[in-house]
Chain A
Amino acid sequence: MTSLPKTPPKKKLGLVIDLDICVGCHACAVNCKEWNTGGHSAPLTDMNPYGAKPKGVWFNRIHSFEAHDEETGQSRTVHFPKSCLHCDDAPCVTVCPTGASYKREEDGIVLVNADICIGCKLCSWACPYGAREYDEDEGVMKKCTLCIDRIYNENIEEEKRAPACVTTCPAGARHFGDLNDPNTTVSKIVKARGGMDLMPEQGTKPVNKYLPPRPKAADQKTTAPRMLRYEDESTDGAGLLARWVDKLLS
C-alpha cells in the first residue's frame, strides 16, 4: 500500500547494540523517553501513570530473560534492548494504508507522519518485532525516530549528536552510524564481532545489528594458564614458614 523508497537509501543509519556488555539498566529506554516526549513525536503519553496499570509510549524497551539449555543445564541471563530496527524491507511501511508510515530515502529511517496516521494499527500487526507504540490518547502510532531531531541538529554539540539512547548508555553498549558503508567503524565492529540480524527469517532486513555475547567461562572447559603448585606439601605449611624466616626482602 505504501511504497518503500524506489532506490535504496544511500545511507542506512542505525544502531549497533552490544549484548555482551548490556547490563539491563534501562538508561537507554528512559533517556529516549525523556528526549522524545518533548521531541519530534511529542508527547510519549503515559496512561494511568500513578494508578493500577500504568501504560505509556516507549520507543525503546529492555527485555531481560534467561536462556536455559535443558541438556547441558547451562543458562545465561540476557538483557535485550529493543526498538525499531529501521528495516530495509519494512513491513510496517508497505502495510500502511495512508502513507503515514514511510522510510526516508535520505537515510533509511522509518518514520510515521502523525498528520495522516489514522491509528488503524496495521503497522503494529505487521511489525514482527513489536516495535510500534500506539498512543491511545492521541490515536496515532508512534515509534523510534532514531532521534531525527538530534542527529542532524547543529544546535546539539557534536559529542551528543546521536540518538539519546546511545549517548546516555552507561555501559557503552550502543553505537550509531551508517551501516551501508563498510568503512565506517560501526560496520567494522559488526563484521569483527559477528553482528546479527534480529529474526532474519522474517525477511525484513533490519538495519540495526546486535553483537552477540562473547563466550562465557561456563560454556568452555576453562583451566588457568598455570595451575598453582604447593611449594610445601606439609598440611600446615611449616616448611614454607621455615623458608620464609631467611627470605631477604628490602
Chain B
Amino acid sequence: MSLNPFETVKEHVDLAVRSADEVKTTTCYMCACRCGIKVHLKEGKVRYIEGNPDHPVNKGILCAKGSAGIMNHNSPARLKKPLLRVGKRGEGKFKEIEWDEALALATNWLADVRQRDPSKLAFFTGRDQSQSFTGLWASQYGTRNFAAHGGFCSVNMAAAGLYTLGGAFWEFGEPDWERTKYFMMFGVAEDHDSNPIKAGIGQMKTRENAKFVSINPSRSGYSAVADEWVGIRPGTDGLFVFALIHELLRAEKIDFASLARYTNAPWLVVQNPGSENDGLFVRDGEGNPLIYDVREGHLRNALDADITPAMAGRYELPSGGEAVPAFELLARRYMAPEYAPEAVAEKTGVSADVIKRLAAELADVAFEQEIVIDQPWTDAWGRRHDKMIGRPVSFHAMRGISAHSNGFHTCRAIHILQALLGSVDVPGGWRNKAPFPKPAPPGPRPAGKKVAPNTPLDGSPLGMPYGPEDLLVDEKGEPLRIDKAYSWEHPLSAHGLMHMVIRNAWAGDPHEIDVLFMYMANMSWNSSMNTKGTMDYLTDTHADGSYKIPKIIYSDAYDSEMVAYADLILPDTTYLERYDCISLLDRPISSAHGPADAIRHPVVKPDRDVRPFQDVLLDLGVRLKLPAFVAQDGKAKFPGGYSDYMANHERAPGLGPLAGWRGKNGESEGRGEPNPNQIDRYIENGAFWQHHFPADQQYFKAVNQSYLDYAQMMGWIPDNKPIIHQLYSEPMQKFRLAAQGHGPHQPPERHRERVATYFDPLPIWYQPFEEDFLENEDEYPLHALTQRPMHMYHSWGSQNAWLRQITTWNRLFIHHEIGKQLDLQDDDWVWVDSRNGRIKVQVKLVWGVNKQTVWTWNAIGKRKKAWGLSEDAPEATKGFLLNHLIDELLPSREGAKRYSNSDPVTGQAAWFDLRVKISKCAPQEAGESAPQFDPIPPVPEAFPSPKILRYGKDMAATPEGTAVEPTEWVAHKSEVAQALDKDRAKGERS
C-alpha cells in the first residue's frame, strides 16, 4: 500500500470471485408461476437466488418475488413449533407443544369424526400446489368437503375453458408468442404464468410487427406497455366481445372451414320447445351427434371424415320435429341489433368506432395475414395436411373476467370469438399446454354422493358434472357439500367454494362440521369476503360456550392473521426446505411446446421444529389408516415421506405424480413402473422434466392424430379420438331442461328460474349481480377492484423486508375527474362505502383508469403485529382491504334465501362486482385507515424482527480464477436481430 499522502489510494477490485460454496437447483414458490431457480449457498445460508436458464417456464429470468425469496425464507414471521391454543379463539394465545402431541391430538379429532361421519371434516387447502395429493387424502379420508382455493380464484376461467375447448386460459394455455401478430388481453392478469407473459409481451413487442391490445379498466402493469389500452367498464367485457362477434359475423369474417371441422357449430340442435329434448343435439342410435350434409342431402354422423355440413337451415328429423345447426343459433343471437357496437358502447364505455376498428383489425390479421408453416400433419380423420396454417391473433384473460358473477359466460364468449377466428391452437394463435386439451368437459365427475364411516370416497371430490345427475344433492335437491358446490345454487363449481366454507359451517347450512382443517389460506383476513364477519363466524359460540365451528386445525409456514383463529397449528417449512411435486396430475408447468413437471427438494435444512405439510398429511394418513397410505402390514406405505410418495404412488398402473424417468431404470416417460431413483434423476436434471413435441404435434392438438396418440399414451386423455370444441354447450342445456321440469333430477322450486336463466347453452351477458340489486346506480356509483402487484403474492409480500419497501401501504386509485368532483388531492383520506360496510383509506389520483372505477393493490393491508411487523407498520396503520366491503352473500330477493356472492354457474367468488361510493373524510378523521382491529400478539418464542438487517455482510466472496473480457448481453436476441435487419434494409433503401 502506498504511504504517499498526496496519492489517492487505488481500490483493488476482485473481478473473479467465488461467491457461493454450492449452487442447488429447485423450483420457486414465491407465487403460482413455479419458475426454475438456482439457489446459491454460502456456509449453509442462502446467498442468492436466480432463474434457471434451462427451465421451461422462466428460461433464466426471475421476477421480484422470486428474487426476494431469501427474505421469505428468513422471515421473522416463520412459525417455529406446533402450537396449541390456550386463550380464546382469536386472541392469539398459544403454547408450544411437541409434534408427537400435536399429531396425536389431530389424529384423535380426525379419527373420531371419520368413524362417525367423515363429511363433518371440511378440508380446504388454500394456495396449495399439491392438490392431486391433498385431494387424494380427502378422498381416502372419506369427506366430500374438500377443495383448494380455485373457487375464489379463477374457476370461471377453468370451467368455461374446459367446457368449451377442453383447455383454459389461466396458466393452461399461452399465446404463440413467437408468431402472434395481434394479442388481446382481457382484465387484470398480473398473476399466473406471470414470467412467461412478461417475456412473451417483451418478445412480441421487440419484433415490431405485432400489436398488443389491453382491455382493462386500469392502465397499470402490462396495460401500460400495450400498444392500445381500452379502459373498459368492469363486468361488461362480455358485451364488448359480443359486439366484436357481431361485427365479424355480419362481415362474414369467420373461419367457416375451421368451424365445420373442429367445432360443434354444424351439429344439429333439436328445436322442439317444451319437450324434454329441446336444445339437445340430434344423435344417432350410438349417440353420435348428427349434421346435415349439404352435398349428400341427408343427416350424417358429425364425426365422420368426409362430411359437408350445413351451417344454417332447418332440417326435418326422421323421428319428427326439426333441428338447426348450432351455428345458426349462435349467429342469430349475436347478429341481433342489441349486440351491435352502437348498442353496447354506453354500457361498456368503449365507443362504437373503437369496437368496429378492433373487430376489423382482428379480421385483417386473422384472414389477410395468415401464417403458413411448411409442416405436414395428419388430422384425426386420417386426412393429410401438407401445411400448418395459422391465424395469428391470440387472446389471454384471467382475473378481470373471472371475478365477476358473469365471468363464466364472458370467458366462454372469448373462447367462441377465438373459434370463430379459427385461432385456437394454430400457428400465431392461442395454444394449449400439456396435458390439455382434454375432452370438453373432461372426466371424471365429482365423487361424494355417498359418504360412510371409515370409508374412502369412490373417486375424487372434485370433478366436472355432465348434467344434473352428477350433482351432489340430497333427495330434496339440497346441497350435500359444506360449500354447496355441485348443488343447484352453482352446479359447475368444479373447484368448490372455499369462500363460503366458514360462513356455512357457522350457520350449519347445509350442515354443521366438527373439524375445519385448512392449509395456507388466510381466511380471517385477505382471503375472505366480509372479513369482520368471518372473524365472528370463527369465534362465535353456542349458548353453552362451545364454538360453532368446534375444532380448527391450521397449517402454515408463517404467522398470518389466520393463526390466531386456529386451535392447533402445524407449522410448515419454507419452500426451500421441502419436497414438492409440480405434477401433470395437478397444475403442471408445461408449455405449448411440450409437457413438463418438476419437483422441489430441500436445499437447506430447517433451523426450527417444523415439518413439511405433505409429510404431516402422510403421517396423519398412516395414523388414520387411510388405505392409500398404509401398507399391508399396517405400517406406512411411503416411509420416506412425500418424496417417497412422489416416486412410488401410482394413480393407475404406470401413472404417477411425476412423468419423467419412470420405469425401473428411468427408461420411460409418462408411463412406467416406479423408479426408486426418480427423484435423484430430477435433481440431476435441474429439478424438472420436459419433453418437446415433434414439429407435427405442435398445433391443432385437439384434432392432431399424432398428438392425440401421444396424449393417450401419457394417460392425459381416455382415448385418441378428436376433441371437438363445444361452442354450444349441451351440458348447460341439460341443466336448463331440468329447470324447465324435464328429467328425474329436479331443482328445488326456488332455484328453477335461476338455473333456467343462467344455464343458457350459448354465452349470455347480464349485469353483475351486485349492480343488478342496486335500485339506483347513483347510490353506489363506482366499481371497485383489486389487483395483485407484480412484486407480491397475496398476503406473503409484506413480511418480506425487501418487497415491503416497494409497497408499504396501499392507496385507492381514483380518476382525476372524480378527485376534482370531490375536491381530493393525492393522499387525502376518504370513506368508501358499500352495502356491506365502510372503510377509510387514502387516495391517489390517476388518469389511467376507467372513470367509473376505483382500484387498489390486493392484500397489502395487514392486521397490527401480524406477519412479524411492528404495531406501527404502515401496512396496518394506513393499508387496507377492500374485503370488508364485499358481502359473501347477495341480498335476498323477495325474502328468499340468499345466494352466495358468486357466479351462478360455477360458484366463482364475484370479488369484482363490488360497487362503492366515496366521500371526503373530515379533517380530524384523517391519519389512520379503518376498520382497525386489536393487534395479534406474536406466537410464543417468535423470531425477533431485527431493527437493522445486514443480510450478506458475512458472505464475502473469495477471489478465485482470472478475470475474463466482458461480453455484451442482449435480451430477445433473435427479435432484436430481426428488428435491426429491417432497420438496416430500410436505411439501404432510402
Contacts and interface: CB of A to CB of B under 8 A. Distances in A.
A79 interface: yes
Contacts of A186: 968, 970
Contacts of A223: 357
B990 interface: no
A78 B758 CA distance: 41
Contacts of A218: 228-229
B357 A224 contact: yes
A34 B976 contact: no
Where chain A touches its partner, the secondary structure class is loop
Contacts of B971: 18, 166, 169, 172-175
B220 interface: yes
Contacts of A216: 226-229
A148 B60 CA distance: 20
A38 interface: yes
Interface string A40-52: 1011111111111
B15 A168 contact: no
Interface stretch (A22-30, A82-90, A126-134, A195-203): A22-30
Nearest to A173: B202
B296 to A, nearest CB: 11
A51 to B, nearest CB: 4
Interface in A93-151: 98-99, 102, 107, 111, 113, 115-116, 137, 148-149, 151
Interface in A163-200: 164, 166-178, 184-186, 188-189, 192
Contacts of A173: 202, 971
Contact of A29 (B58, B64, B260, B360): B64
A249 B311 contact: yes
Interface string B296-334: 000000000011111111000000000000011001100
Interface core residue of A20, A34, A66, A175 (most chain B CB under 10 Å): A34
A186 B980 CA distance: 11
Given A29-B64, A111-B11, A161 B966 contact: yes
A213 B253 CA distance: 33
Interface stretch (B678-686, B802-810, B828-836): B802-810
Interface in A56-72: 56, 58, 62, 64, 66, 68
B440 interface: no
A164 B66 CA distance: 13
A160 B312 CA distance: 58
A160 B50 contact: yes
A24 B980 CA distance: 25
A175 B966 CA distance: 13
Interface in B955-989: 955-957, 960-972, 976-977, 979-980, 983
Nearest to A215: B227
Interface string A205-248: 00000000110111000111111111110011100111011111
Interface in B818-865: 846-848
A232 B356 CA distance: 16
Nearest to B364: A225
Contacts of B14: 149
Contacts of B229: 216, 218
A172 B259 CA distance: 37
Which of A33, A214, A223 counts the most chain B CB atoms within 10 A?
Answer: A33
B653 interface: no
Given A39-B957, A249-B260, A172 B968 contact: no
Contacts of A166: 969, 971
B381 to A, nearest CB: 11
Contacts of A237: 249-250, 331-332, 335
B219 interface: yes
Residue among A47, A155, A174, A244 with the highest chain B CB neighbour number at 10 A: A244
A13 B796 CA distance: 37
Given A49-B946, A177-B969, A228-B248, A154 B205 contact: no
A99 B48 CA distance: 31
Contact of A228 (B15, B63, B202, B360): B360
B254 to A, nearest CB: 9
Contacts of A13: 966
Interface in B84-116: none
A37 B952 contact: yes
Interface residues of B, number: 140
B952 A248 contact: no
A116 B9 CA distance: 8
Interface stretch (B471-479, B868-876, B897-905): B868-876
A154 to B, nearest CB: 5
B232 interface: no
Contact of B9 (A21, A50, A99, A250): A99
A52 B808 CA distance: 9
B64 A172 contact: no
Contact of B976 (A64, A185, A241): A185
Contacts of B17: 149, 153, 155
A217 B227 contact: yes
B962 A154 contact: yes
B870 A175 contact: no
A54 B805 contact: yes
Contact of B308 (A161, A184, A222, A249): A249
B335 A236 contact: yes
Given A228-B363, A235-B337, A237-B332, A22 B11 contact: no
A37 B47 CA distance: 9
Contacts of B136: none
Interface in B243-272: 247-253, 256-257, 259-260, 266
A211 B848 CA distance: 22
A176 B948 contact: no
Contact of A30 (B221, B226, B803, B945): B803
B19 A244 contact: no
Interface in B149-208: 194-195, 198-199, 201-203, 205-206, 208
A148 B13 contact: yes
B872 A228 contact: no
A51 B61 contact: no
Interface string B696-727: 00000000000000000000000000000000
B360 A226 contact: yes
A66 B848 contact: yes
A37 B951 contact: yes
A157 to B, nearest CB: 8
A40 B13 contact: yes
B801 A50 contact: yes
A27 B228 contact: no
Contact of B53 (A153, A160, A214, A230): A160
B311 A240 contact: no
Contact of A222 (B220, B225, B357, B805): B357
B219 A77 contact: yes
Interface string B72-94: 00001000000000000000000
A211 to B, nearest CB: 10
A149 B968 CA distance: 15
Contact of B50 (A11, A107, A153, A168): A168
Given A27-B61, A148-B15, A228-B356, A162 B847 contact: no
Given A21-B202, A155-B16, A56 B801 contact: yes
B375 to A, nearest CB: 22
Contact of B64 (A25, A155, A158): A25
5 contacts: A38-B956, A43-B953, A54-B801, A159-B53, A167-B50
Given A18-B206, A26-B64, A225-B364, 13 more contacts: A24-B220, A33-B67, A50-B799, A51-B947, A52-B874, A77-B848, A149-B15, A149-B19, A161-B966, A216-B228, A224-B361, A227-B357, A250-B308
Interface of B: 8-9, 11, 13-19, 42, 47-51, 53, 58, 60-68, 70, 76, 194-195, 198-199, 201-203, 205-206, 208, 211, 213, 219-229, 247-253, 256-257, 259-260, 266, 294-295, 306-313, 327-328, 331-332, 335-337, 356-361, 363-364, 368, 790-791, 799, 801-806, 808, 846-848, 868-870, 872-874, 877, 945-953, 955-957, 960-972, 976-977, 979-980, 983
